[in-house]
Amino acid sequence: MRLLISNDDGIFSIGVRTLANTLAAAGHQVTVVCPDRERSATGHGLTLHQPIRANLVEGIFDPKITAWSCSGTPADCVKLALWSLLDEKPDFVFSGINHGANLGTDVLYSGTVSAAMEGIIEGIPSLALSLTSFSAKDFQPAANYARDLLKHLIENPLKELFLLNINVPPVSEAEIKGAKITRQGIRRYIEVFEKRTDPRGKIYYWLAGEVVEELEDPDGDRETQTDVEAIRENYITVTPLQYNLTDKKELPKLKSWLPSGKF
């Protein structure tokens, strides 16, 4: 399989190196295109007001892997790869392995998920992977799961285009209870802006958000566990996502509520 891998932690992150090397060792043709520095929480931002630069990177990945460092965002990286750097369209786009969770409402801000989302916008099945800890450093269980899941997808292809958001608990492979298909949960934050003064006496603010609670979605499918809940129980969570944010439940209500005709 031809695989494109990106991330938002940057070309030098351990997570992307572990993922790329593991998939290359499984016999896949791997190309890596990642930001030249950490670009976490950039969402689906694009670089429009300055040039994007890309450089080949050597000595970091398995020699069989072609790797590029890109000055743009995660979404820029995938766009640039698909339209300029690759000779052939990849069979899958991978993003990650992210250092830290992308659960629940995190996906709205995540550069990791946005890179994978760019893949499905271009008609390519995509997977976003995250290790749900900022301190854990063993990315191999997540990479092994990605390798095994890819093998399963090749042997049992899904009929519809998909984006799978995968979160892996930061425990040993033996402690992982298995994998669950989950739905997107809710993560709430206290958004604390620390007020500081720079050496020239000017005021600036530093965002220091803190997770304070993780809640069950009151309107969700009770038969399907949320990603937030399942990860607590040491399950790998696999959540299908889409870029269409239309609230279909509200369409009939709005059609009857909004006056017809011109304003």
User: Mean pLDDT over residues 127-144, rounded?
Assistant: 96
Q: What is the pLDDT of residues 25-65, one digit of tens each?
A: 999 999 999 999 999 988 999 999 999 999 999 999 999 99
pLDDT at 63: 95
The three-state (H, E, C) secondary structure of 207-259, written as one string: ECCEEEEEECCCCCCCCCCEHHHHHHCCEEEEEEECCCCCCHHHHHHHHHHCC
Domain assignment of residue 217, yes or no = no
Terminal Cα distance for the chain, rounded:
54
CATH number of the domain enclosing 163: 3.40.1210.10
Domain assignment of residue 43, yes or no = yes
- Please tell me the distance from the alpha carbon of residue 93 to that of residue 100, in angstroms, as a whole number: 20
Whether 202 shows a pLDDT value over 70: the answer reads yes
Question: pLDDT band for position 188 (50/70/90)?
Answer: confident
Average pLDDT over the chain, rounded to an integer:
92
Question: pLDDT band for position 255 (50/70/90)?
Answer: confident
- Please tell me the distance from the alpha carbon of residue 241 to that of residue 110, in angstroms, as a whole number: 13
Domain assignment of residue 159, yes or no = yes
- Please tell me the distance from the alpha carbon of residue 28 to that of residue 30, in angstroms, as a whole number: 6
pTM score of the predicted model? 0.92
Q: Phi and psi for 149 in degrees, rounded to 5?
A: -65, -40
Domain assignment of residue 155, yes or no = yes
Number of structural domains in the chain:
1
Residue carrying the six token digits 């790869």: 81
> What domain range includes position 173?
2-184+222-245
Domain assignment of residue 6, yes or no = yes
pLDDT at 220: 59
pLDDT at 190: 77
Q: What is the pLDDT of residues 172-183, one digit of tens each?
A: 999 999 999 999
Percent of the chain predicted with pLDDT > 90 = 79
Name the residue type at position 231: I
Q: Cα-Cα-Cα-Cα dihedral of 218, 215, 94, 40, to 10°? A: 130
Beta bridge partners of 23: none
Question: Which three-class secondary structure state does DSSP give residue 164?
Answer: strand
Beta bridge partners of 158: none
Residue carrying the six token digits 């990791």: 112
Give the 3-state secondary structure percentages of the chain, helix then strand then coil, rounded to 5: 30, 30, 45
Name the residue type at position 55: N
Q: What is the pLDDT of residues 94-107, one digit of tens each?
A: 999 999 999 998 99
Domain assignment of residue 58, yes or no = yes
Alpha-carbon separation of residue 1 from 48, 91, 154 (angstroms)? 32, 6, 9
Domain assignment of residue 196, yes or no = no
Q: Cα-Cα-Cα-Cα dihedral of 166, 114, 254, 251, to 10°? A: -50
Q: What is the pLDDT of residues 106-126, one digit of tens each?
A: 999 999 999 999 999 999 999
Question: pLDDT band for position 217 (50/70/90)?
Answer: low
Domain assignment of residue 210, yes or no = no
